[in-house]
Chains A and B, each alone.
Chain A
């Protein structure tokens, strides 16, 4: 009786904790293994605590090259996809033109298409067009699937914005450009930042599309895949944990700033 009452009062909390635990467990394992000195190349159990992996993350130079390559591709793809996607979102929300609904649908295609299909068709395209595969084909491929997510994210933010704020700015002697820079952009900015972060993380860990279009370029996910056959170096866990830490930091900073500006 009392137990069931206790459960009834707290079951939402309990379920939430279980879900959180379920989500966090793999990350916890990765973080733990980043401090591991494995007993052999192919063993994955926690053998001995060490800080060596963190002290020498680039002990395996191939891996660091791959991380650098992924960051470069991710950066270029993010910038291009964010700029393009933001412009598209503005066009789709602010203007009525022929083919608008068609484009809205087309935007969803890369999100709905299986990556395998996207990867192979891009491969076919590049090969038949005679484009040598490598860094730039990867950038093109990543921009392609990132742009959809950027459009959707920025569009949501833009659609939620009160048009009267821009009218008020114009009424208060702000030209179209000043209105955009002083009112529209600051208000849409959080959406753009969120979209960019999303684009970067999508690009950074993409494997399937990348694998088809990489040529001889090796990205971080491809390196990990290859290494899995021979035994993954523990530094991979360092990279994983660091990525997670940086993401957590960014989220923390942005929510702190949001709370401060609300005050």
Chain B
């Protein structure tokens, strides 16, 4: 995000919030382009809500700035900011009906004829005719829409959404994701959408910022984050990754050669986040292909030999676990396109990949387990683990029992 900020960008600079000894948001720098759908993605407890609250003015930053355009709004009262929030628990006023909930902001700003705007907004969120009902009489999904309408009707410069779909069941959530996208397209307001659901962030947002322990780990378009993660945390928080502990000794020509468990690999310089010292060699499971033997590996691909230890058929694909010669397990997803070969459990295979699809990440030097560090799960304590997306809890690359390494 190197460009100079135009009039409406939301910029957080050196934003920090401490609660006593706990640093909830740690020197955050972030630019949200005007009109974009921006997702702030991170495990529970990593500081997402605190960040939103500082933008909304409900929490005073310990230090740093919140810039909207060129104006620092960090010291303004919440009602002085052209920013509105959709709260995690909706926070609808129980003593007011739906129409009055939606009209609340308009009336406070002294706007007289609110009926038309309220009606149009309720139509936008598909709640026509529900204006006279009380929030308590609405379903969770409907309450969510009211909360959205109540914020949007004010045409804020930035709309903040704090896990707005978290309380909805899966089907409704999918529906609302599409709905939210549609509405954002229609109104063109900057959306900052907080979520711990990586799939939600990827499908909805133009730009995703992955947050971990109060900091931004990586920011970019969903595809860029997925194809070329910057850290082991991102590699495993956004989808799954096979990460092999490796050593690199700097680039040689256009490639970076690495050594992992005695075997030699290489990948293009452009795919290396780090090209020296302790690194992880990463390959996404769907980019790890299986061949019956090393001779069948296509030219230019690199491979490790292993044995299939598990094959789960999940309809569109089959998910294989492959134990490597040195005892760790790799995951490979093979599309059930009817073209490829199927491998039974126990079959010897060569797991291969195109080096242009691999990536190299920095690694804390230490024992060479093929196990990425999981900072969020470690630092945020038990609660974070319980709330983390399921894929976080599943070890993708696990050091299997080392059998007599013959």
Q: A170-B79, A174-B104 are in contact. Are A164 and B94 (CB under 8 A)?
A: no
A197 within 8 A of B: no
- Does A186 sit at the interface, judged by CB under 8 A? yes
B79 touches A168 (CB 8 A): no
Chain B positions within 8 Å of A162 at CB level: 89, 91
Q: Given A172-B105, A262-B136 in contact, is the A164-B89 Cβ separation under 8 Å?
A: yes
Q: Are B87 and A263 in contact (CB under 8 A)?
A: no
Which one of B78, B89, B136 lies within 8 Å of A170 (CB-CB)? B78
Contact (A173, B154) CB under 8 Å given A167-B78, A178-B108, A261-B134: yes
B104 touches A172 (CB 8 A): yes
Question: What residues of chain A lie closer than 8 Å to B112, measured between beta carbons?
Answer: none
- A172 contacts B95, C-beta separation under 8 Å: no
CA distance A171 to B95 in the complex (A): 18
Q: How large is the interface on B (under 10, 10 to 19, 20 to 34, 35 or more residues)?
A: 20 to 34
Closest chain B CB from A181 CB (angstroms): 11
Q: Give the contacting residue for B91; candidates A165, A173, A174; CB below 8 A.
A: A165
Q: Is B85 on the interface with A (CB-CB < 8 A)?
A: yes
**B56 shortest CB reach to chain A, Å:** 6
Distance in Å from the Cβ of A161 to the closest Cβ of chain B? 10
Question: Which bracket fits the contact residues of A?
Answer: 20 to 34
Interface string of B124-147 (1 = CB under 8 A from A): 000000000010110000000000
Q: Which residues of A contact B56 (CB under 8 A)?
A: 171
CB pair B85–A173 under 8 Å, yes or no, is no
Are B154 and A172 closer than 8 Å at their CB atoms? yes
- Answer yes or no: B363 CB below 8 A from chain A CBs: no
Q: Which residues of B contact A186 (CB under 8 A)?
A: 95
- Residues of chain A within 8 A (CB-CB) of B48 are none
Is A255 in contact with chain B by the CB < 8 A criterion?
Answer: no
CB of A169 closer than 8 Å to a CB of B = yes
The A-contacting residues of B in range 63-114, CB under 8 angstroms, are: 77-79, 83-85, 87, 89, 91-95, 104-105, 108-109
Q: Which of A174, A182, A187 contacts B79 (CB 8 A)?
A: A174
User: In the complex, which residues of chain B have a beta carbon less than 8 angstroms from the beta carbon of A50?
Assistant: none
Within 8 A of A (CB), among B293-345: none
Contact A164:B91 (CB < 8 A) given known A172-B104, A261-B134: yes
Q: Does A39 contact B (CB under 8 A)?
A: no
Answer whether residue B11 sits at the interface, using C-beta atoms and an 8 A cutoff.
no
Docked-complex contact B58 and A167, CB < 8 angstroms: yes
Q: How far is the CB of B146 from chain A (nearest CB, A)?
A: 12
With A262-B136, A263-B134 already in contact, the answer to whether A170 and B91 are too (CB < 8 A) is no
A175 CB–B CB distance under 8 Å: yes
Within 8 A of A (CB), among B40-70: 56-58
* A–B complex contacts, Cβ < 8 Å, 5 sampled: A167-B78, A170-B77, A172-B151, A173-B105, A262-B136
Binding site for A on B (CB under 8 A): 56-58, 77-79, 83-85, 87, 89, 91-95, 104-105, 108-109, 134, 136-137, 150-151, 154
Having A164-B89, A167-B78, A168-B93, one finds 6 other A-B pairs with CB under 8 Å, namely A170-B78, A171-B83, A173-B109, A178-B108, A261-B134, A262-B136
Binding site for B on A (CB under 8 A): 162, 164-165, 167-175, 178, 182-183, 186-187, 261-263
